[in-house]
Every structure is written in C-alpha cells, then in structure tokens.
Amino acid sequence: MSLRLGDIAPDFTAQTTAGEINFHEWLGNSWGVLFSHPADFTPVCTTELGSVAKYRAEFAKRNVKTIAISVDTVESHHKWIPDINETQNTVVDYPIIADPDKKVANLYDMIHPNALDNLTVRSVFIIGADKKIKLTMTYPASTGRNFEEILRVIDSLQLTAQYSVATPANWKDGEDVIVTTAIKTEDISAKFPKGHKVIKPYLRTTPQPNK
Ligand code: BEZ
C-alpha cells in the first residue's frame, strides 16, 4: 500500500554521497524533504539538484534538511555532482542516496512502471519533525519541480501546525490566512488580535499571526 499523509516516513539505512546514513537519525529534530530523480547525467535532474542547492539558506531557515535519491550508484552521483555545480553555478552539499537495488525507491513507491520503467519518477515527501509525512507530490520525468512551491508548502505546514489557521489558494508567506472552522466567530478577536474579516460564516480571514 502506498504511503499516506500522517504515516510515519519509513526508516532506512542507505549509502549516500555523505556516507552511510540512517534516515531517522539523520533527520534528527529537523523537517526533511526526500525527493527522487530518475537518473544521473540527465538534463532536468541536473537543474533540479542545482536548484535545491541554491535554496540551501531557505531550507535551513525553516529547519529543513534535503536529501535526493536515484537508483544510480554512489560513484555515479560523485561523478555527476561537479557537472551540477558547474552548470548550475552552485555547490551540491546535501546527500544523494544511491539506491541501485531500489530498496528505498520501493519502500516509498517511487517507481511507477507505467510511466517510467525501472527508474524513480520525481517524487517528493515533506516530513515533519515528528517524522510524519506532511505532503507527497509526484511529477513525471519531463517536468522539473518548482522548489519555491515546496518552500511555500513548508511555510504553510509550519504555520498551520502552530495556529488554528489554514492557508488559501496561492497563499504566500505574509499574506492573510483563513481562521479554521473549529474557532467560533465570536472567539476570533481573542485568538487573533490583529483583526479579522467575516466574508461568509465559514470563511473568515486574519493577518498572518506570526508576522
Ligand atoms: C531528465 O532529467 O531530463 C530526464 C531524466 C529521465 C527521463 C527523462 C528526462
């Protein structure tokens, strides 16, 4: 059965470009983004892994560690990284898991044979500090991911874990948020003193509480 939101992210031990890691130990108290790519020395993957390296400070600010995976070997990853650094003008300094026996890929259901035979598709798992899966996304090989969207989702997840709010369509950090329906309208002022709007009895907004 595939992994669902709220499940504990399965633990594993694997070889990576940073040596052998135990996934849960490596995560420690951080959030994590585990993302697969189809293959080393391929164009879209080269841009994606470079993009994640460039957002290093943004992930760190949110207490998030990133880790990539493909079914290539650790030797292949090490040979490819200089190409990523050169062409994307960055330094890949997060681990890339080598999974030639597909142990982790199968554990996370990253191989979708009707779309791409024997290779991992572009899966993303956002994992909370509690090791639970907060978001999954699956992109085809032909479409590079938008890592700003992944950062945006992390902002929403971390905010909504702390306050009784949800975030509307296309929300970005700093914009108004939705007060959850668990809060009665008459209780909003006490909980959200920056003010609120009642657009419908079920649609109430407030300025982002932690800004
Ligand atoms: C790419 O990264 O460009 C790619 C990888 C595997 C299949 C198709 C495209």
CATH code of the domain in which 171 resides:
3.30.1020.10
Ligand 1, pocket residues at CB < 6 Å = 38-39, 42-45, 141
Among the listed residues 107, 101, 96, 51, the one whose alpha carbon sits nearest the alpha carbon of residue 74: 96
Active site residues: 45
**CA dist., res. 146 & res. 127, Å (int):** 18
pLDDT for residue 180 is more than 80: yes
DSSP state of 132: B
Q: Assess whether 172 and 92 both reside in one domain.
A: no
Ligand 1 centre to CA of 71 (Å) is 13
Q: Assess whether 32 and 109 both reside in one domain.
A: yes
Atom 7 of ligand 1, residue of closest alpha carbon = 141
Ligand 1 centre to CA of 90 (Å) is 20
Q: Assess whether 169 and 71 both reside in one domain.
A: no
Q: How confident is the model at residue 95 (pLDDT cuts 50, 70, 90)?
A: very high
Q: How confident is the model at residue 1 (pLDDT cuts 50, 70, 90)?
A: low
Ligand 1 centre to CA of 48 (Å) is 11
Atom 8 of ligand 1, residue of closest alpha carbon = 141
Q: Assess whether 94 and 175 both reside in one domain.
A: no
Does some domain include residue 42?
Answer: yes
**121 Cβ contact partners less than 8 Å away, ≥ 6 residues apart:** 36, 38, 110, 111, 112, 115, 138, 139, 140, 141
30-73 pLDDT, tens digit each: 999 999 999 999 999 999 999 999 999 999 999 999 999 999 99
Q: Assess whether 194 and 122 both reside in one domain.
A: no
Ligand 1 centre to CA of 145 (Å) is 12
Q: Assess whether 139 and 178 both reside in one domain.
A: no
For the chain, what is the domain count?
2
Domain limits at 55?
13-145
Q: What is the mean pLDDT of the chain?
A: 98
